[in-house]
Amino acid sequence: MIRAMWYHDGWGWGGWFAMTLIMVLFWVLVIAGAVALARYIGRRRQEPNPQPPVGEQRWGGRRAEDLLAQRFASGDIEEDEYGRRLALLRESR
């Protein structure tokens, strides 16, 4: 007599569906991660350095000392105030 052998040790259709779903999700996450990393790196290269070097702090494109000198020259501040603020700026470098 010939016996038909049935090896039912697989997951069946549900297993195939679960494995397919997990594989698709895995690749979606890998691709999304690569895209996010590329955007992050690209954005970092486009951004200028947010902090200029020490002693080169700029405000409106001019050094703070230049702005202070301009205010003194235009008469906005007195000589003693100019001297105090200039000393404070140079001290904080």
pLDDT at 64 over 60: yes
Rounded Cα gap, residues 6 and 48, in angstroms: 68
CA angle 48, 30, 13 (to 5 degrees): 160
Q: Is the pLDDT of residue 57 over 60?
A: no
Measured in residues, the chain has a length of: 93
| pLDDT of amino acid 30 | 98
* DSSP of 10-37: S-HHHHHHHHHHHHHHHHHHHHHHHHHH
Q: CB–CB of 68/85 below 8 Å?
A: yes
> Which has the higher per-residue pLDDT, 68 or 36?
36
